Amino acid sequence: MAVGMVDGFARSLAAVKALESARIGPAAWRGDAVEEAFDSLRPLTGFDMGSLSYWDTEARTHRTLMNVGYPDHVMRLCDSLIHTDATFQWLRARHTPLRLRGLPDHLLSGPVGIQIIERNRFQDGLTHCFFSRGGRYLGYLNLTASGGDLDDSTFHLVQLIESAVSPLLETASRAAAPGARAGAHAAPGRAQPLTARETEVLSYLPSGATNAEIAAALGVSHTTVARHIEHIIAKLGVPNRTRAACVAVEWGLPEPAQVPQ
């Protein structure tokens, strides 16, 4: 990779600090902070899609905390079935990252290999499981290079940030426990509610604010806002941004205190 050793170390430390801040920051902003942290690692790893999911012990399924690049339907499928995959169960037991490149065919014969990796023609990737200090399983990270190779340093980088990711997943899991869920706005007739942050972004759309203006108001990148809007449109089942703005009006979402001019 073109990134030098010193710059790479600095980026890694910055990502760890950002992940630690995400853990103690407002829950509604947690996903954004994690996305920003992983975005900063792209030049080091070469991934173009990444996700972080925590294990919901009550529902016995995974739930997405951060998704950068994966289509929503791929994430829903992965979170719902990855824990049933024999290769993933083996990965959980070994406690070290597993790289896609070079895996023998028999390790790709399960539901993840067939329904996700082969169907989407993913070329290289890495999956790692995270655990609490007491050994309790917390969740997993996926990084994918859809058309090339991950950098070889990705294996060690993922282990470097583990100390920040594990407490973050533990916090997210506790926040999702019954009685702790708050701030989610359910779309009528839809299975997936909007997160608090997505609802906040949606509230800006009737004003005609651009992605850059919303990003400036919320203190995030315009790419993060673009991803939120993509998720909003998919969850609401509407064709475009304009129709999503109409839904915001129909719901009676309050106009943001800081509307870009």
With CA atoms as reference, report the closest residue to 118 among 99, 139, 92, 100. 100
Q: How many other CB atoms are there within 10 angstroms of residue 225's CB atom?
A: 24
Over the chain, what is the mean pLDDT?
Answer: 84
Sign of the Cα torsion 247, 250, 253, 256 reads: positive
Convert the pLDDT of each residue in 185-199 to its tens digit.
Answer: 554 544 367 877 888
Give the Å distances, CA to CA, from 74 to 49, 50, 62, 217. Answer: 11, 12, 13, 30
Query: What is the distance between the alpha carbons of residues 203 and 199, in angstroms, rounded to a whole number?
Result: 6
Q: Provide the pLDDT for residue 126.
A: 96
The answer to whether 124 and 144 have CB atoms below 8 angstroms apart is yes
Q: Which two tokens stand for residue 200?
A: 């906040």
Name the least confident of 22-26, 47-51, 94-98.
22-26
Name the least confident of 4-13, 113-122, 223-232.
4-13
Convert the pLDDT of each residue in 200-224 to its tens digit.
Answer: 899 999 988 999 999 888 888 888 8
Query: What is the distance between the alpha carbons of residues 244 and 144, in angstroms, rounded to a whole number?
Result: 30
Regarding predicted confidence, which is higher, 73 or 191?
Answer: 73
User: Domain locations in the chain?
Assistant: 5-175, 196-251
* Across 120-134, average pLDDT: 94
Instruction: Out of 35-39, 57-61, 137-141, 170-174, give the one with best mean pLDDT.
Output: 137-141
Check pLDDT > 70 for residue 163: yes
CATH class of the region 196-251: mainly alpha
CATH class of the region 5-175: alpha beta
Q: Provide the pLDDT for residue 222.
A: 85
Q: Provide the pLDDT for residue 189.
A: 46
